[in-house]
Each structure stands twice: as C-alpha cells, then as structure tokens.
Amino acid sequence: MKNYIILISFLFVSLSGQAQSGYLGDLNSAEFKINLMPTRLRNNKLGQVHSEPAMLSRLRYALPSFELNYARTVARKIELSAGLEYASMNLIGDIYYSGNTERVIDNVKANRIGLQLGFKYYRKGSFSPIGKYIGFSLHFGGAIASPGDGLVYGKVTNALPASNFFVRKRDVNSLHTVLDLKGTEAFYGGMRFGMGRNYPLGNGLTLNIGISAPLLTFFHNTLDGQTGVRMWRTDTISISNSNVSQSLIHTLYKYNRILLNMSIKKYF
C-alpha cells in the first residue's frame, strides 16, 4: 500500500511538475472533429431497375459523425475536453425480418446526438496540446429514427448481373411495410480509447489526427427495454415485430466501432 501511494504521488507530481504553457500561451480551444468509421457495409434503398422495384445496396466507405468540443489544457501533459457529437445515420447492414427469407429493403434515417467527455495524456516528450497523445473518452447519447412510412421489407433475388462493386442490385419479389420506427429511441453509453497527434498549423490552429476504439459500450432502447453490452460479431441481424428497434441499436453499434478522426482546433 505504501509503495502504491508513493507511485501515485510520483505520477501526480510528474504530471503537474511543470507549468502548462499551452499552444503559444493559449490553454483553451474549440474543436470541430470529423470521425470516420471505415467500412464495407452497404446502405439499402428501394429503387428501380428497368422500371421495376429493386433493392439498391450502395457501398459505404466510411460512416461519418461530427463533434464540437471545448478543450482545456489543465496540466503540462493533460488536456480535458467536453462536447457534443452528432451523426446523421441510415440503418445500416443486412437486416432480416422474421428469419432469413425476407429482409429490410429500405433503411430509414436516424439522428444520433450525444455528449462526450475526454481526457488526453501527451506522451513521448509531447506536451499539451502539441504532439502525441493517448486518451480516454466517455460518450453518452441517443438515437432517434426519422419520421417515415414504416420499415419496408420483402423478398429479394440474388444480385443482378447489372450489379457492380459499388452498387448491388436485386429484384424485389414481394414488398411489405411493418411497424413505423418513427420516434423510436435508443440510448447508448460507453468508453473509448484513443491515440493520435496534434500538429501545430499556426495562427492558433492545430490539426489533430487520431484513431479511437470502443472499450465498452452499452445500449438501451425504448421499445423492448433491453439494456446491456452488445458484442455483435456479424453484420447480419434478424428482427421481428417485438424487437424491431434492434435495428436502430445495430446501427448505433456500427457507428461506434474503430474510428479515424480528424479535427481542427482553434486556441484562444
């Protein structure tokens, strides 16, 4: 216990041993961040091929989300931040309805809004806010599906010859509409681990490039009230009338995987 206290004291002293200079004297910053989740998932839309209804599955290279943060250098090597995050999402991936013969054809839109609290430790000779860092962040928020005509599902054929790598096309054999997701909410929370570096650009501006990964995530939705850690290992899920909102949680999960991020910070 004594050694533990000495270790903690040493770490504390070494962290706060020097005064924080910030970026050319500025300790506060406003940050606009773009997160991109690299993916090969597809976004399904109900469209037409030769005037016939068809399911068009467009390749999504990256799923974007945005953050607006305030950050402050609080010790020589430590920066804290707080902010809002937003993503305009489409229900994503292959979602089957009641088994695996019929699938959701038209992925409705949803908006995700959340809060984040971040902690960054600048390492390898760097000091806040220039250079390399590792950090943790806490995220809380919710997603709400946009108003629509209901979740469209049906039977589709295999990919047509007219498909290509970017857009897969399938004929629609049958078409139904199920429960409207309008107003369906899902909540999420979790912790992420991140690392990256801040490059000074001058005039109080820095460019941040980093990567982050979820350490722990949990979800809750209003329809079936399920809460817990979700660790889907597949891109495919099956939903039914009783748990249709799982599709929203599934999408939230997809948006919460490893992210590449880039941000511009203005110091003041």
Partner 1 sequence: MKKISLLIIVLSTVLISNAQDLNDFKGLQSGGVLPLDFTTSSTDKFKTDLDANQNEDLDKDFFLSTRFFIDDLLLSGRVLFNEPLSKYVNKVAKYTLRTEKKLYSELRFYVLKSTAVNAFSTDQGIIFFTTGLMAQLENEAQLAYIIAHEVSHYTENHVRDSYVEKQHLNAGNGKYKRMDYESRISELSVYKKSNELDADKKGIDIYMKSEYAVDEIFSSFEMLLYSYLPFDEVQFDTAFFNTDKLTIPGGFFPDTSNEVSKVEDYDDHGHSHPNIQKRIDAAFDIVDGKTSRGDLKFKISEEEFKKVRNLARFEGLNMLLADREYGRALYNVFLLQREYPNNRFLDLCYVKSLYGLAKYKNANRYREVTEKPKNIEGESFILHLFLNDLTREQINIIAYRHANDMAKKYATDPIFEEYQLDMKKELAIGARLDFDQLKSKSYEEYMLGLEEVILEFDVQDSIAKVEASDLSKYEKIRLKKKLRAIEGDINAPNEEAYDFYEFGLYDLVADEHLIDDLEALKKEERALEEEIENDENTNEGLDVAKLMIVDPVFENYRINNKRNLTKSEDQKVDMANIYTQTYPKLKMETDIIDSKLLTKADVNRYNDIGLIFQWMDEVLNHGEIDMISSNHDQMGKLQTKYGTDHFLFTGVFAYKDRHEFSSMHFYGIIFIYTAPLVIVDLLVVHNHFEIVAFSVNAEEDEVEFVTVSDVNLRSTPKVIEAYVYDVLYQINNGGGLR
User: Residue 165 or residue 268: which is nearer to partner 1 going by CB?
Assistant: 268
Q: How far is the CB of 122 from partner 1 (least distance, A)?
A: 10
Alpha-carbon 152 to chain mean position: 25
Region for 124 from its dihedrals, namely left if φ exceeds 0, alpha if ψ lies in -120 to 50, beta otherwise: left
Q: How far is the CB of 55 from partner 1 (least distance, A)?
A: 32
* Cα–Cα distance measured from residue 81 to residue 66, given in angstroms and rounded to the nearest whole number: 15
User: Residue 45 or residue 132: which is nearer to partner 1 going by CB?
Assistant: 132
User: Residue 138 or residue 260: which is nearer to partner 1 going by CB?
Assistant: 260
Question: Interface with partner 1 by CB under 8 A: which residues?
Answer: 17-19, 21, 23-26, 76, 124-127, 130-132, 197, 199-202
- CB contact set of 4 (below 8 Å; sequence gap of 6+): none
What are the CA-CA distances from residue 249 to residues 35, 44, 102, 151, 243 (Å)?
A: 19, 17, 20, 15, 10
Q: How far is the CB of 141 from partner 1 (least distance, A)?
A: 29
Q: How far is the CB of 134 from partner 1 (least distance, A)?
A: 12
User: Residue 82 or residue 130: which is nearer to partner 1 going by CB?
Assistant: 130
Burial class for 18, CB neighbours closer than 10 Å (0-12, 13-18, 19+): exposed
User: Residue 43 or residue 126: which is nearer to partner 1 going by CB?
Assistant: 126
Q: How far is the CB of 19 from partner 1 (least distance, A)?
A: 4
Tokens of 156: 């589709």
